[in-house]
Structure 1
Amino acid sequence: MTTMKRRALAGLGGVLAAGAGLGLGELTAALAGGTSPVVGVGTQLIDLAPGPAKDWAVKNLGTADKPILIGTVLLAVMVFAFLAGAIGASKPRIAVVMTVLLGLLAILAAATGRTLATNGFVQVLPGIITLLIATIGILLVLRALHLNPFGGGGDRKAFAAGGSKPHQTLATGSSTAEHAAERSTERPAEPADAPAGFDRRRFLGTTMALGVAGAGGLGASLVLPEGVNEATRRGIRIPAAASRARAVPAGVSVDVPGVSRFVTPNQSFYRVDTLLTVPKVDPRTWELRIHGMVDRELRLNFADLLNRRLIERDITLTCVSNEVGGPYVGNARWIGVPIAELLREAGVQGGADAVKSTSVDGLTIGTPLQALTDGRDAIFALGMNGEPLPFEHGFPVRMVVPGLYGYVSATKWIVDFEVTRFSEFSAYWTDRGWSVEAPIKTSSRIDVPKGFARIKAGPAVAAGVAWAQHRGIAKVEVQVDNGDWQPATLAAEDTIDTWRQWTFRWNATPGNHKLTVRATDADGQVQTADRAAPRPNGSSGLHNTVVMVE
């Protein structure tokens, strides 16, 4: 067998061994509830990635960043496994070591991940299975290729010599012919076209078994029935709110095609988080712990919250990662339990100024205590737009706090709520260079016309949305090219916690024109023209678009 062919076969075997380990590791995760090897490594990459890399992914990839990252992790593993096998064709011990390193990486990712404290040994079990299966697999592949990583290289020498054993010298008293006869009785001769040192039948059997194990494990993990599924979520009935949202006034929506809908449908609502897979939390076992600097610790299950006084409110949420004119803003009708009422029941102690909330995946968020107790409609939300929270948006319970960017207020899949001081902790995002407190900045966006749209000369219309949650929008203005700022027509206001639509009618003359928008909030703060990136406390600047008038 040529060196190139031997390396190719060994590399293929390495890939199949790693695939078997991953497949059965994923199956273990699905059955036992531990950390998926791929998801564990991918999540660690997210956590360890430098800030600019995260910002770039959110800006350029949106929600596609998660499947792209999973695909990248899988590709990197397969390339590494192929190299391990190929190297093992001449240095089998290195192949085993490299394969073990892959398994250890999965274990380490789970052991140092955010959820170890809640799942203990089970968390790392899928990684252990991956390590064992992949290591056994590469050993079987090497054996089929007559490569023995523990035999001092004897098999490799035999392979290099064409598969025959070295002749003994005449000093042994035996003739070459006698040794040939002995060799002929030791094992049957291989077919004439079989590569020397290559057990074809064993190699095919080994690689097929590894392939079936990997594909079968992965396939089974994907089709296993989930304990909590869409039927579970939709089967929940949320009681009517004791305090209903006010009726939406007529005229909150402008009659201009292409403008963002006043209420963002659940399936269109933006999603920005650090999870590669969406948690499926069982509401029957879910519990929220309220503790820390309180007089009485509270432990509430999902039924407890359903039986509490519920309020219903329209609230616009904005992600701090939203660029000027970006899509990460949406408006929905939420129903939930007022956080202030639970804090009063727990009895907040003097000196507290913050709450550290924790998601089921271990992500932490720090929220100013004042924003939860100053009269705004901060809630533990159970429902969104008339149905239980979607899984992607925090089912069964999440936080919603008007006027603050999500990274300091909107904890999804929440399980822990600790009253504390900012000086006593640092949260996930503040550890990564974002500001501790982040009130939403006054912002506006042009939805129509889109950038570089072609429109007819004559009467034209521009339209969009503006927001300044918990302050409200008082005015929107539009500038054509470098002309004066002209007032836009505001749609009716629902509440100060929701965005507001606007329209601007102008006479479009032939040529290219730039439209720029700015908003003024109810406190008189004019949207700044100073350009700033989202990091560390939200983007700023004026959104503009260029149109071509014919």
Structure 2
Amino acid sequence: MTSPRLAGALAAAAALAASQLTAAVLGLRESPVLAIAQTAIRLTPGGIAEPIIGAVGTADKPLTIVSVVVVMVLLGAIVGTWWRPHPTWAVAGVVVLVGLATAAVLSRPYGSVGGVVACLVGGAVLVGVLALVLPESSHDDTEKGPAVTRRRMLTTVGAVVVATAVAGTAGELLASRRRRRRDLDGLRAALRLPTRRRPTPAGADLGVDGQAPWRTSNRAFYRIDTALSPPLIDPAGWRLRIHGMVEREVTITYQDLVDRGLNDAWVTLCCVSNPVGGDLISNTVFSGVPMRDLLDEAGIRPGADMLLSTSEDGWTCGTPLSSLTDGRDAMLAVAMDGVPLPVEHGFPVRQVVPGLYGYVSATKWVTDWRVTRFDEAEAYWTQRGWAARGPVKTHSRIDVPRGRATAGAVPVAGVAWAQHTGIAKVEVRVDDGAWQEAELGAVPSDDTWVQWRWEWDARPGDHRLEVRATDKSGYAQTSERADVLPDGATGYHGVDISIA
């Protein structure tokens, strides 16, 4: 006899595979599983989302999808336990699951009748597999004996497992998104933008072993966003609509941006979820068009103080207009480190604004600008408890040494940042002793982080190293520890070292 829980879990897995296959055959932008996962992200309160991001970092996306699949399988197991003793409850449970999946699909920007069909197919398969694997016992089965019944049940279960595997694999192989991604990668590789890879500025990289490179490669650049499946946008079809509190509505195409000529700027981007000493920060050169020029063409009306930008997948971001019009290198970027933006980093067009955390500035896959006011509109993360404006805080980090070192001359090195303000000095102290000023690397502007190093005459024993930075406004990092919510972490970064 098959366990009802196991049967229900198997039925749920088969339902997920069937809905995935249906979504692929219909060429849907998102399968029901992705739609449910994106809805779960959207409904998660900021106070819960932040610890998750802090714990898993850039692994949040695959873990979210796996979590949705696991929850759906567990719910299927519950329905399986109801199938024989309470069939009405079981059917009602399936109806509820299909209804919730349908609501998630229709709440997404890509919601469609096809998505509803995929949900219904999944529900039908769930019921069908339960009926097949957990049939009512018959007089025939009793007469033939338990061995025959067991063999028949094992054969049925095996057939369902094989069918589930085949459906899931076929869904992956047929997925139109996979084909679209290959096509888009080809289009991206064929683009010939008027930009090139610039060399790292002389003196910027101090070359200390173990220190974070001053220039971050595109592959290593951190990624934090809510898109489980990055939007796939053909540059030829990309449009940016500028509207709201403007004198005239403007629509910009990708070719319009390229034809204007591209400016290059070295910029360090940082996530507000970066803890003290964290690595959710990267530095590279972006190429694009000043956002100020586009806003000037539209004409900002008096009273406006916020730009509400929207991603192709519906995510929103509120940026202070003052940070886009004060002369800093705020741009609509089309290239990153000399090549067209990677898909995961916003291809074909994203925003880059020095001096602001990404949640209030760095919209990827941007397609809409609405000029408005902070007292009239709220963006995605501010609705979840983060501060509305989000200027980057002055910070520093120790990269080396870590753990153990040998007595004598030990290089202590790391990075410090205060984008659009600039770092004036970095200091290190040992065991709460006097602060010692470190050597700073060269930087092309105040919009990037700076490498620093200090030579330590290390004595045997256990020691505590701490670092602090002072920016060009005269502000010195505070030692007071604060969480990343609502507007970024504070406190000295320290490491414990054992000197042999």
Name the CA shift for 1:51/1:322 in 2 (closer, same or farther; >3 Å). Answer: same
Partner of 1:418: 370
User: Alpha-carbon deviation of 1:232?
Assistant: 2.0
Unmatched 5+ residue regions in structure 1?
Answer: 148-158, 165-188
User: Alpha-carbon deviation of 1:290?
Assistant: 0.8
Counterpart among 101, 111, 114 of residue 125 in structure 1 = 114
Partner of 1:93: 88
User: Alpha-carbon deviation of 1:99?
Assistant: 2.3
Amino acid at match of 2:175: S
Partner of 2:78: 83
Map Cα deviations across residues 20-70 of structure 1 (whole Å, 9 max, x no partner).
4333244256x132x321111111222222323211121111111211121
Map Cα deviations across residues 257-311 of structure 1 (whole Å, 9 max, x no partner).
1111111101111111112222222212111111111111111111111111321
Once residues 379 and 157 of structure 2 are traced to their aligned partners in structure 1, the CA distance between those partners, rounded to angstroms, is 52
Structure 2 length-normalised TM:
0.92
1:230 matched to 2:185: yes
Structure 2 counterpart SS, 1:194 = helix
Alignment of 1:243-282 (within 5 A): 249-282=201-234
Once residues 115 and 191 of structure 2 are traced to their aligned partners in structure 1, the CA distance between those partners, rounded to angstroms, is 32
Alignment of 1:143-182 (within 5 A): 146-147=135-136, 159=137
User: Alpha-carbon deviation of 1:402?
Assistant: 0.8
Counterpart among 43, 47, 50 of residue 52 in structure 1 = 47
1:109 matched to 2:104: yes
Name the CA shift for 1:467/1:145 in 2 (closer, same or farther; >3 Å). Answer: closer
Counterpart among 334, 338, 355 of residue 386 in structure 1 = 338
Once residues 285 and 242 of structure 2 are traced to their aligned partners in structure 1, the CA distance between those partners, rounded to angstroms, is 25
Larger radius of gyration: 1
Q: Which moved more, 1:396-405 or 1:137-146?
A: 137-146
Q: How many residues align?
A: 499
Alignment of 1:356-375 (within 5 A): 356-375=308-327
Amino acid at match of 2:193: I
Counterpart among 193, 216, 223 of residue 170 in structure 2 = 216
Once residues 3 and 473 of structure 2 are traced to their aligned partners in structure 1, the CA distance between those partners, rounded to angstroms, is 74
Amino acid at match of 1:225: R
Counterpart among 267, 275, 282 of residue 323 in structure 1 = 275
Structure 2 counterpart SS, 1:444 = strand
Counterpart among 283, 292, 295 of residue 343 in structure 1 = 295
Unmatched 5+ residue regions in structure 2?
Answer: none
1:239 matched to 2:235: no
The percent of aligned pairs where both chains have the same amino acid is 43
Name the CA shift for 1:492/1:92 in 2 (closer, same or farther; >3 Å). Answer: same
Map Cα deviations across residues 423-451 of structure 1 (whole Å, 9 max, x no partner).
1101111100011111111111111112x
Structure 1 length-normalised TM:
0.84
Once residues 512 and 201 of structure 1 are traced to their aligned partners in structure 2, the CA distance between those partners, rounded to angstroms, is 64
Amino acid at match of 1:73: V
Map Cα deviations across residues 123-142 of structure 1 (whole Å, 9 max, x no partner).
x5224323234325523641
User: Alpha-carbon deviation of 1:237?
Assistant: 1.4
Structure 2 counterpart SS, 1:351 = coil
Amino acid at match of 2:121: L
Map Cα deviations across residues 54-112 of structure 1 (whole Å, 9 max, x no partner).
11121111111211121111111112223323421333333332223222222111222
Amino acid at match of 2:216: T
Name the CA shift for 1:314/1:386 in 2 (closer, same or farther; >3 Å). Answer: same
Once residues 435 and 469 of structure 1 are traced to their aligned partners in structure 2, the CA distance between those partners, rounded to angstroms, is 18
Alignment of 1:443-482 (within 5 A): 443-450=395-402, 453-482=403-432
Q: Is the CA contact 2:5–2:78 (under 8 Å) kept in the aligned structure 1?
A: no
Once residues 291 and 497 of structure 1 are traced to their aligned partners in structure 2, the CA distance between those partners, rounded to angstroms, is 29
Amino acid at match of 1:388: P
Name the CA shift for 1:240/1:65 in 2 (closer, same or farther; >3 Å). Answer: closer
1:531 matched to 2:481: yes
Partner of 1:303: 255
Structure 2 counterpart SS, 1:545 = strand
User: Alpha-carbon deviation of 1:404?
Assistant: 0.7
1:23 matched to 2:20: yes
User: Alpha-carbon deviation of 1:231?
Assistant: 2.2
Once residues 299 and 177 of structure 2 are traced to their aligned partners in structure 1, the CA distance between those partners, rounded to angstroms, is 47
